[in-house]
Amino acid sequence: MNRLIESHFTANRTWNESENVQNALRKANPPVRERRAMRYRRVPDETIKRLPIYLRRAIRLSEGGVKCVSSKGLASLLGISPWQIRKDLSYFGGFGTRGVGYDVEKLVDRIKNVLRLQVVRKAVLVGVGNLGSALLAFPGFRPYSLEIAAAFDIDKTEIGKKRSGLVVEDVALLETLKERNIDLGIIAVPADAAQDVANNLIDVGVKAILNFAPQYISAPKNIKIITIDIALYLARLPYYVPSK
Ligand code: NAI
């Protein structure tokens, strides 16, 4: 490795080129933290999608006093094949015991760890209308250590009101988020406002957004956007129901 660096400098290349070589070396032998991150990056999105499903079930089992669950047992509770469950969990190191199964507490901890839910993760909600208010009142984010910690709206009649314990703030003051350690965003505004809201959230440091508006959101590659549209799911249902 040293020879490579030496020969590189003796060749009298520009600083920019030497930076390229250093990057190449770093890529070939990245530090431990980066190696871990790379490992997670190789995990298929489909696996990441299933992890919260496993987590939810594992939390319920744990609450019910269950200490251990096999992949087969978990599979029958979730309608997912035991093979798939084993494969998904194997991405994060073997923590099941052959013939015994998974320690439920450990399963909860490990999945929370992978999803980075070990600490409470704060989200900001933009748009406190019908949907936004329902999201604020929903207690179901807590088991996943997710908390809606701030809510913004553009409507002057809404700003300053308390909704589910949170005071609705003026969206013009979104930049106050910079000092509040909130890196998740939820968009519940009309479609034509969604892209602007997303841009503003990204500008103030939000790194991942759950978008409920029926609108494609374009964002830099390092920002994760997940769009949910119940109507799209509903629109598929009639296809499976033959007309009489
Ligand atoms: P709503 O009209 O009740 O609420 C929208 C809120 O956004 C209002 O309080 C409004 O003042 C605020 N708003 C508008 N422009 C804004 C801006 N630039 N910055 C901050 N706040 C702004 O509408 P509703 O029913 O709550 O729906 C909200 C969004 O969610 C819509 O895009 C709707 O299509 C979508 N939706 C999606 C569903 C899904 O399954 N993904 C289900 C229901 C609604």
Ligand 1 center to residue 136 CA distance, Å?
13
Reply yes or no on whether the pLDDT at 4 is more than 80. Answer: no
Does 104 or 95 have the greater pLDDT score?
104
Instruction: Give the tens place of pLDDT for each residue, 6-20.
Output: 333 333 333 333 444
User: Using a 6 Å cutoff on CB, does residue 127 contact ligand 1?
Assistant: yes
Identify the bridge partners of residue 225 per DSSP, sorted by sequence position: 209
Q: Is the CB of 102 under 6 A from ligand 1?
A: no
For range 220-239, the mean pLDDT: 96
Which atom of ligand 1 sits closest to the CA of residue 228? Answer: 41
Residue 32, pLDDT score: 53
Reply yes or no on whether the pLDDT at 177 is more than 50: yes
Residues 218, 4: Cα–Cα separation, whole Å: 41
pLDDT digit string, tens, across residues 27-44:
445 455 545 544 545 789
> What integer pLDDT is reported at residue 92 of this predicted model?
87
The mean pLDDT value of the chain amounts to 86
**What does the pLDDT look like over 54-96, one tens digit per residue?**
999 999 999 999 999 999 999 999 999 999 999 999 998 867 7
CA distance 234 to 212: 15
The residue that leads in pLDDT, 218 or 5, is 218
For residues 168-179, give the mean pLDDT. 96
97 vs 133, more confident? 133
> Does the C-beta of 187 come closer than 6 Å to ligand 1?
no
- Chain mean position to CA 167: 25
User: What Å distances lie between residue 203 and 41, 154, 178, 198, CA to CA?
Assistant: 24, 18, 9, 9
Residue with the larger pLDDT of the pair 42 and 200: 200
Say yes or no: CB of residue 171 within 6 Å of ligand 1. Answer: yes
Going by CA atoms, what residue is nearest to atom 39 of ligand 1?
A: 229
* For residues 211-229, average pLDDT: 97
Better-scored residue on pLDDT, 127 or 7: 127
Residue of 138, 189, 206 best suited for mutating to test ligand 1, as the one with most atoms within 8 Å of CB = 189
pTM over 0.75: yes
Task: Please report the domains of the chain, with CATH numbers, ordered by start residue.
Answer: 41-114 (1.10.10.10), 121-234 (3.40.50.720)
Q: What whole-number percentage of the chain has pLDDT above 70? A: 83
Q: Is the pLDDT of residue 204 over 50?
A: yes
Distance 129 CA to ligand 1 centre (A): 6
The count of residues in the chain is: 244
Supply the DSSP symbol for 80: S
Residue 158 confidence (pLDDT): 97
